[in-house]
A and B are shown apart, each in its own frame.
Chain A
Amino acid sequence: MLEGRALTVRRSTPRLWLSASWLALISLAAIFAPLVAPHDPLAQDLFAARLPPAWAEGADPAYLLGTDSLGRDVLTRIIFGARIALTVALVAGLATAIIGSTLGLLAGYLRGWVDLVISRIVDIWLAFPPVLFAILLIAVLGTGLSSIIIAIIVIDWTRFCRVVRAEALNQSAMDYVTSAKVAGRTRLSTMWREIGPNVLPTICVLLTIEMGIAVIVEAILSFVNLSISTDAPTWGGMIAEGRTSIHQAWWVLVFPLIVLFLTVLSFSQLGEGLKDRFDPVLR
């Protein structure tokens, strides 16, 4: 058993760094998109439609990863797509974490009818297929960046709520919580100052995983054409377009897919790596 643990720790370090570096690269590209992107993400050039990547035959070296059916540069759209994907990941991830964790803390620590009500709502939420729920919410809210973020928050708060509630239930039974009560702290102050910091590592791990999920949800919604405008450079929108022209222009699907794959993998591996770091048994 001990060797197994040592192995996990050794393996987790490069994993942590690799995923963090990829996410840093993508973030930098997103922040400095207008500076690093070689073209305009919306500029169409029908004379340069479906050009293959620069190293293939018949390519134009000005378009490193080729162009789509409207002659838009694939690399540029991937870079600008990172802006939308990471904005959704950050804003939706954080908001989901805050709302879900607060409700989970309240349910797990206060128990009683608060727990009963919150747990029933979580049960109801689990009865819906999340993708269908998301699509339905977008139909209600209308397309656009803020609608996507709201839809993710509305659907995914239960993920944090369930885990944090269970953790808070465990922590409440511990001696330090009892001593905080004996020392005369109020219930809310105990919850925030004593239990809160102890569930924070768990929340951080969940948050990185949630950010990966948010990127995927955005891609799925763009894929069914319900994300932002059809013109906007989103990874999911590019994949949807690439899916239809897969036999004529594979690069329109393949490059955004690789970037999306690596980004989601990195978020999740970062979470796993952090879990190993935080876990006192492993440390």
Chain B
Amino acid sequence: MNLVRIIIVRLATTIVTLLGAAVIVFFVIRVVPGNPIAMMLPPGATDADIARLTALYGLDKSIPEQFVIWLTRALQGDFGTSISLRQPVMPLVLGRLPATLELSIFALVLAVMIGGTMALTGTRFRGTRTEAGIDVANGVGLSIPDFLWALVLILLFGVLVPVFYVSGRISPSLDLPFVTQFYVFESLVRLRFDLWWDLLKHMFMPALALAIPLAAIIGQLLKQSLKETMHLDYVVLARTKGYGENHVILFEALRNAVLPTLTLVGVQFTFLIGGTVIIERLFSYEGLGNMAIDAVINRDLPLIQGIVIVFALLFTVINLVVDMTYAFLNPRLRHA
């Protein structure tokens, strides 16, 4: 009963959040100075041309009217036509979303791998110089945001020792057989490991830049919970049974220490996705964030709206899933 109530309340707040986000985006964009219609037309266009085009994009109606029309259409998946690219917004946005999702998921995997290794190594060698070194590395990793890590990585591995690609999503010379935009996934399905490897080599630097701050958070929190778990009776018992230190950490302590980190990773994942906006720009990666910055520079109102709403939808859904998972995993709520 309790659980059902929590789910209903949580769903309701999600809808309120999304609606609020839609209202804010819509009204913020209406106050953007500069006439996007004038920018679309060649010099020497007549007033009649401007009026016709303004009516075509629905910009001649009052703002509340525009909002109702926009919301009704948006609920049907129609976000209008991009002014700068002259194509429907939704296919454009959905065409770019997979690139951003693949980058974010790859970054998340890297963050979990690096952060997990740091936490386990720090626990294994607790009280030594190794642990102190890991603490310092975590501290620096946490203090510096992804934007700066990206620049450092470009400098180190793009210029000084050019071993990784620092621009684009895939080598332009390659022949692409893809029918979906999920290149990494599709290249695996098609068993085209050459393409898969090329994609990974392009994604590695931007994904690492996104992953470092999250890896540091995971490293710090997981190490803290592992430390606390190591003192619990059942872990001490496992040790007296004669299990080695590695076995105790990996198979006894880790299982119980991992839950707080998991919840945190869920929340932090949305911050990581938010970071892709500038990281994609830095690495000329053809994702949603890069498109968003172009849309703002071109004052392409329908496209900006579509992108921001898709981001908001993604973030609220991730937060919802994290909360639900937590509610299901938490025995106090499950059995209430």
Contacts and interface: CB of A to CB of B under 8 A. Distances in A.
A22 B281 CA distance: 30
Given A139-B299, A253-B155, A129 B277 contact: yes
Contacts of A123: 13, 16-17, 20
B154 A264 contact: no
B163 interface: no
Interface string A2-18: 01000100000000000
Contacts of A239: 151
A64 B14 CA distance: 55
Grouping DSSP codes into helix (H, G, I), strand (E, B) and loop, the A interface class, with mixed when no group exceeds half, is helix
A97 B62 CA distance: 37
A11 B307 CA distance: 45
B43 interface: no
Grouping DSSP codes into helix (H, G, I), strand (E, B) and loop, the B interface class, with mixed when no group exceeds half, is helix
Nearest to A126: B315
Nearest to A253: B155
B33 A128 contact: no
B3 interface: no
A127 to B, nearest CB: 4
A117 to B, nearest CB: 11
A140 interface: yes
Given A257-B152, A264-B143, A264-B145, A120 B16 contact: yes
A137 interface: yes
Interface string B297-327: 1010000100110011001100100000000
B17 A124 contact: yes
B270 A126 contact: yes
Interface in B116-142: 127, 132, 139-140, 142
A264 B21 contact: no
Contact of A136 (B21, B148, B296, B316): B296
Interface string B1-27: 000000000000100111011001000
Nearest to A142: B33
B51 interface: no
A124 B308 CA distance: 12
Interface in A137-195: 137, 139-140, 142
A267 B157 CA distance: 27
B57 interface: no
Given A120-B16, A250-B159, A264-B143, A131 B148 contact: no
Contacts of B17: 120, 123-124, 127
Interface size class of B (residues with CB under 8 A): 35 or more
Given A142-B33, A254-B155, A265 B140 contact: yes
Contacts of A132: 274, 277, 289, 292-293, 296, 307-308, 311
Residue among A3, A126, A212, A260 with the most chain B CB within 10 A? Answer: A126
A154 B21 CA distance: 14
A239 B28 CA distance: 30
Contacts of A120: 13, 16-17, 20
Contact of B33 (A140, A223, A224): A140
Give 8 nearest A-B pairs by CB, closest first: A129-B274, A268-B143, A124-B20, A127-B312, A131-B277, A123-B17, A127-B21, A127-B315
Interface of A: 3, 7, 120-121, 123-124, 126-132, 135-137, 139-140, 142, 212-213, 216, 219-220, 223-224, 239, 243, 246-247, 250, 253-254, 257, 260-261, 264-265, 268-269, 272
10 contacts: A120-B17, A129-B275, A130-B274, A131-B289, A132-B289, A140-B33, A216-B148, A257-B155, A268-B144, A269-B143
Given A128-B312, A135-B292, A250-B155, 4 more contacts: A139-B32, A220-B147, A261-B152, A264-B143
